[in-house]
Amino acid sequence: MNNSGILYVVATPIGNLSDLGERARVIMSEADLVLCEDTRQTTRLLQASGITAKTRSFHEHNENKLLGWVLQRLSDGQNIVLVSDAGTPLISDPGFPLVREARNRGLRVSPVPGPNAAIAALSVSGIPCHRFCFEGFLPSQAKRRQNALRALRKESRTLVFYESSHRVEECLKDMVDVLGPDRSVMVGREITKIHETFFLGSLDQALHFTRSDENQRKGEFVLVVGGNPNVDLEWQRACELFDRLCPLLPSSEVSRIVSETFSVNRKRLYRRMIEQKKG
């Protein structure tokens, strides 16, 4: 462990190459090896940034095969960088088996944080971002996508999705159908690139905007969807009823009545009651 090298997980730009941080540049220049999702893509970045480094392809189709080889090099003391084509590795990108196995073996793993499309979009969305769920890509098959959205219908936190140009319109259509036309959404397209566009409005308006202009279906997308505003309201009402009934009935009875009246979780009500008693 002491003489082992470090696996650096390095974030790279999601569009604008100037977003490569100075620490990322130095670590990549000094590393023994840079593992890339696509060596051509990363070589372009390295050349543009004046970095010479030894690269090797490491992607979802060969990562399990190369795992032992990479771990041995780390154990031998080499410093190895993991990058993906763009953004932060592992976030809808390869690398998870390597990081998990390096951790299991007690090897050092260190991040070089930087660009990430989801966080970039959230940070400019104007939609609450103090609590959010990152959902990555929805299933490509329509039925499975609609089911995945159905499972998220009651989520009160902001939802963040990745989407490609092939499916952005279909995906917005399914969101309108399953989550309702009025939910707020920010469609972030080509973030940090020449054609960067942000559209903020309701799901219905976003679908119309995307449909009516072919250019708005080109490039890469992040969809930031507001959480279900009614869920918090329902919880609030449930708590009010709970507090009114508590002095009158046993708490198990109150939990049952309230959870049947509103669709709120009985255990959650019970936890709240315990916390109130403690507090």
- Residue 116 interacts with ligand SAM (CB under 6 A)? yes
- Closer to ligand SAM by CB, 135 or 239: give it: 135
- Residue 188 interacts with ligand SAM (CB under 6 A)? yes
Segment lying near ligand SAM (by CB under 6 A), choices 27-35, 79-87, 197-205, 234-242? 79-87
Which string of DSSP letters, residue by residue, matches 155-172? --SEEEEEEETTTHHHHH
- Residue 8 interacts with ligand SAM (CB under 6 A)? no
3-state helix, strand, coil in the chain (%, to 5): 45, 20, 35
Strands 220-225, 184-189: pairing is antiparallel
| Binding-residue pattern over the window 205 to 234 for ligand SAM, x denoting contact by CB under 6 A | ---------------xxx------------
How far apart, in whole angstroms, are the C-alpha atoms of residue 212 and residue 43? 37
Strand partners, 112: 10
Distance of CA 138 to the CA centre of its chain: 11
How far apart, in whole angstroms, are the C-alpha atoms of residue 224 and residue 134? 9
Which residue, judged by CB position, is nearest to ligand SAM in the bound state?
A: 87
Q: Which residues contact 66 (CB under 8 A, 6 or more apart)?
A: 56, 58
Residue among 4, 42, 55, 84 that touches ligand SAM (CB under 6 A): 84
Residue among 193, 208, 217, 256 that touches ligand SAM (CB under 6 A): 193
- Closer to ligand SAM by CB, 189 or 259: give it: 189
Give me the residues that bind ligand SAM (CB under 6 A), please. 14-15, 84, 86-88, 91-93, 116-118, 162-164, 188, 190-193, 220-222
